[in-house]
Structure 1
Amino acid sequence: MKIEKPVKTTEETFSNAENIADILNQVATKEASADHEPGRFMLKSIISGFLLAIMAVFMLAVKTQFEGASHGLINILGALAFSIALIMIVLTKAELLTSNFMFFTVGLYYRTVSMSKVAKIFALCFLGNIIGSFILFGLMTGTKVMTPEMVAALTKTVSAKTVEATWLAIMIKGIFANFFINIGIFIALQCKEALAKAFFIGIGVVIFVFMAYEHVVYNAGLFAAMMFYNPDAISWMDILKNIVWAFIGNYIGGGIFVGLVYAYLNGRRDDIVKG
């Protein structure tokens, strides 16, 4: 019996074409929202910042209340606690800057969105994310949720991310952080069940938090918390250093290493536009 050699077309090698089509559809939706309903788009961005901030508080509570346990156990528990934030953000379709890095880089590759629109959306999204953090921590000051131990842990974390970190370390850890976050989201796009989506979204966050990588929106939330709870310990130039290089690193990790790579692997630049 003769076995014929399988013949494949180039299009059959584009294994994640459905993902790319889904991403481009979401890019069009996000663009329309930012253009025609900027207030609603901003509100969805604020929700993301609020969720990240409240889960950062949850993570600080977990870490301080389990003090005395092994360092690794405390870190993994904190990472699991914080992973809930991104799961909620993605499943509620809120707007997070760092996940939009992947989405809009795919849009730029296929020329479905302009650079000026992307810059506007990134600015709105980041501003909304920061406002959400400020709202959460502003409200939190009216409670006793943030204990002295949690404030001490917050201050130690911020110092490690700003004063003690070099720009190169921040950028590289920013690449790793958003690579894992966006690869998780990219895989989750292939899942139909909510639990499967939640698992793959969460696992990327667990990795980045456990390894203490740099996430610009999460970091901005921590800096907002410092303004309410320990403003005297803030080093503004070091905070600016962290935000700039974490932003750049996050864009490389999510936008280039995930968005651009998978856009390139799944079709020529004009394929989807012409179709």
Structure 2
Amino acid sequence: MGTGRPGRAASPAPRLNINALTPVETEKAVEDAGVAKTRLTGRRAFVSAMFAGAFIGFGALFFLIVTADPAMTWGPKRFVGGLAFCMGLVLVLCCGAELFTGNSLMVSDLAAHKVTLRQMLRNWIIVWFGNLAGALLLVSLVALAGTMGLADGAVGDLAVATAAAKVTPGWGTLFVRGILCNVLVCLAVRIGFAARSVADKVLGILLPIAGFVAMGFEHCVANMFFLPMGLAAKLMGFGAGAAGAGALDVGAIAYNLSAATLGNVLGGSLFVALDYWYLNAKPARKPSDPVLD
């Protein structure tokens, strides 16, 4: 005769939901993340931002390596380069890091009165400078590694040409390109929040990020790598024949970053964060409120 205890009824296996979060659920996830960002100490936020600056820099370097091939025609080169650049945001979203452009979404927390203006601006300032520090550190290491000399110097020449092309347009043009860029970046970040797996995150962000790169829009954190790397390559003797290379200096870098940064803030906060907060989190109209045609 068996002496074992009567078996317990088997508990049902948990149901695995593979569907992406709904827009309302995504908005809550975005806002919860924004609140958590304000609770980071200054040091933790800065170090995390350094990682993001370096991650985006790796994506930018991957772009330079891939698009240095002279055999590729313009369209395919931009698309393939954009896909390569996606590595940066994949690392940010999957490994965890503070990215200034993505943090534009914190404006939805401000609208919902979950964070104060001071808390949000404090995060933005720390993260912006942390992103810059991480990007500059990577520029130094890449220069020391001799990477600009790959493909018989084609990578270094392209670094100069790419940077020069970013400092020669008018400030207003760069500003609008910054707006358009961060609309796509923040939509990609929202896709990342909506995803339930690493694979979902990676696949979801590919087209928006590859798209903004292929379209030639301006991302301030990417430019924190592209522009100093171009200047460093120029000082190393690369890109002597690049159009506009003579204009590439520290002042030109500040010129681009001022326009790209302000455009990124406006694009991410006004055209993504506030709109999606209004659609998915703003308190609904009460039945007694009048309906305006």
Q: So what's the TM-score if we normalise by structure 2?
A: 0.81
Ranges in structure 2 where 5+ consecutive residues have no aligned partner: 1-21, 236-244, 286-293
Structure-2 residue corresponding to 1:116: 118
The answer to whether residue 95 in structure 2 is matched with residue 92 in structure 1 is: yes
Shift of 1:269: 5.7
Pairwise CA distance, 1:159: 1.4
The percentage of aligned residue pairs carrying the same residue is 23
Task: Give the structure with the larger helix fraction.
Answer: 1
The AA in structure 2 aligned to 1:22 is: A
**Runs of 4 or more above 4 Å deviation:** none
Maintained 8 Å contact 1:185/1:200: no
Q: Residue type of the partner of 1:224?
A: P
The whole-number CA distance in structure 1 between the counterparts of 2:56 and 2:112 is 31
2:136 alignment counterpart: 134
Tell me how far 1:226 sits from its aligned partner. 3.1
| CA distance in structure 2 between the partners assigned to 1:269 and 1:44 by the alignment | 33
Is 1:188 aligned with 2:202?
Answer: no
1:82 is aligned to 2:85: yes
Counterpart position of 2:160 = 155
Q: Is the 8 A contact 2:160 2:231 kept in 1?
A: no
Matched residues in 2 for 1:270 and 1:107: separation? Answer: 17
**Alpha-carbon distance in 1 for matches of 2:255, 2:97:** 27
Question: Shift in Å at residue 227 of structure 1?
Answer: 4.1
Q: 1:109 to 1:19 in 2, by over 3 A?
A: same
Cα RMSD, aligned residues only: 1.9
In 1, are the aligned partners of 2:27 and 2:281 still within 8 Å (CA)? no
Alignment partners' CA distance in 2, 1:139 and 1:270: 52
| Separation of aligned partners in 2, 1:40 and 1:240 | 26
In the other structure, the counterpart of 1:5 is none
User: What does residue range 1-275 of structure 1 map to in structure 2 within 5 Å?
Assistant: 16-33=23-40, 37-64=41-68, 66-102=69-105, 104-147=106-149, 148-163=153-168, 165-231=169-235, 233=246, 234-268=248-282
TM-score (structure 1 length as normaliser)? 0.86
Higher mean C-alpha deviation, range 231-240 or range 258-267: 231-240
1:11: which partner in 2?
A: none
Amino acid at match of 1:250: N
Structure 1 residue runs without a partner (length 5+): 1-14
Instruction: Check 1:137–1:31 CA distance in 2 against 1; reply closer, same or farther (3 A cut).
Output: same
Change (3 A) 1:238 1:143: closer
Name the residue aligned to 2:4. none
Report if aligned partners of 2:160, 2:233 keep a CA contact under 8 Å in 1.
no
Q: 1:95 is matched by which residue type in structure 2?
A: E
